[in-house]
Amino acid sequence: MKGKFPQGFMWGGATAANQVEGAYDQDGKGLSIVDAIPGGKERLKIVSSPEFDFTLDPANHTYPNHKGIDHYHRFQEDIALFAEMGFKCYRFSIAWTRIYPNGVEQEPNEAGLKHYDQVIDACIAQGIEPVITISHYEMPLHLASEFGGWKNRELIGHFERFARTVLTRFGHKVKYWMTFNEINSAAHFPIMSQGLTVKTGALEAQAKFQAWHNQFVASSLAVKIAHETNAQIQIGCMILFATHYAYDCNPVNQLETLKETQAFNFYCADVQAGGKYPYYAKSLWQSQGVELDIQPGDLELIKQHTVDYIGFSYYMSSTINKTNPDAVSAQGNLLGGARNPFLEASDWGWEIDPVGLRIALNQLYDRYEKPLFIVENGLGAVDKPDENHFIADDYRISYLRQHIEAMAEAIEDGVDLMGYTPWGCIDLVSMSTGEMSKRYGLIYVDLDDKISGTGNRYRKKSFHWYQKVIETNGEDIG
């Protein structure tokens, strides 16, 4: 394999509180938006309906996130398995509603803080560096239903209080943080990252761009608090990156690809890492009829408190087509576009493109020259255990191997890459479908889509493979 990983490279894995913890109503936790989003393949279609308003309907829907994989009670066992794999770091998130149940309380819930003290201490005891996402698709339901989500500027103050609480409490023992998970994903599903439904602006550019601005201000405040709390803290942004290709060499498609790349892959990172709105922002706003409410001091705050590194997820690329009506649509690809004839796709239609990851790493580092951290990457697939609960997931090993090879090549290109935390190091409830059957983990969890089963954990073939990858610092990828 070309290239070598640097000493101290942060190999690990990633999860999110709302997808693994369960215990949705225990120890003072309030309802989050995901607690009110049904599970199943129709999940994103349901929340995109004009009628959807976060009303729980257990008679007609299931809510698998309520139970998750019970990581809330089993984190010691799970972290021990991560340590067995050799993890150098574990990326997880803090459930906002465990700390401030409705988001508006003035005093935090001590039971929630104690829980994360225990999780952090369990990681440190195993020699695992915690990497914490402050907000990962789980804003308090009250802030979405009563305030209309992030388009409402009042959320800045509520988030600042939350961020200050967790950074003050844990900042002396946790070095690596991120502010908002996949902040740019609101371009396609704003309900998760901004709490917007159709009724409150999910289809309106004005609402989404104002929500982004409010999040940029809130993110900058979190960066400011982090650096004031502990000068050793490294705090990053986190974006969803999908390398964009033009369908063909038609200049129309080439230009559209440039604009899509700017608007989706770079807009949010340009502000959070670059400290200002990019040159193309005004044109982008005008094209969509957006007029931002920017308050005095906002732009100065954004300029002064930029992130230390760029965390990003990478699952697929996207092919942009404006001129070929006969092109086959990339059905299932989370970001749409045309089907790329040079790529294979996962069981769910997500196109597999490891070369696209090398391109992404080079594009991001070329643009920002800040350290990069791949904090999500993985293959969602149907795993079929044998009679001994063993899963020979060679398809997942192949996916991860190809992407690790691309990472090594990008490092050889000169990219400063901090670490790699594959998504769903343990099976969890899928964000896009609300299913357990869409599995990403290196550890199998015996639960079905209705969260029925023993919940027992079993090591997949990929578990042992990744263990060797970490042990050899990427020298032996099989």
- Annotated catalytic sites, by residue? 376
> Residues 439, 380: contact at Cβ < 8 Å?
yes
Exposure of 436 in the CB half-sphere (CA atoms within 13 A): 25
State the Cα–Cα distance between residues 298 and 303, nearest whole angstrom. 9
> What tokens appear for 140 in the block?
């308090």
Q: What angle do CA 184, 32, 181 make, to 5 degrees?
A: 25
Query: For 262, which DSSP code?
Result: I
Q: How far apart are CA 229 and CA 226, in angstroms?
A: 5
- Distance (Å, rounded) from C-alpha 47 to C-alpha 200? 12
DSSP code string of 100-116: STTS--SS--HHHHHHH
Quick count: other Cβ atoms within 10 Å of Cβ 114?
13
> Is 393 within 8 Å of 99 (Cβ atoms)?
no
How far apart are alpha carbons 337 and 179 in whole angstroms? 29
Cα gap 148→276, rounded to integer Å:
26
Length of the chain in terms of residues written? 478
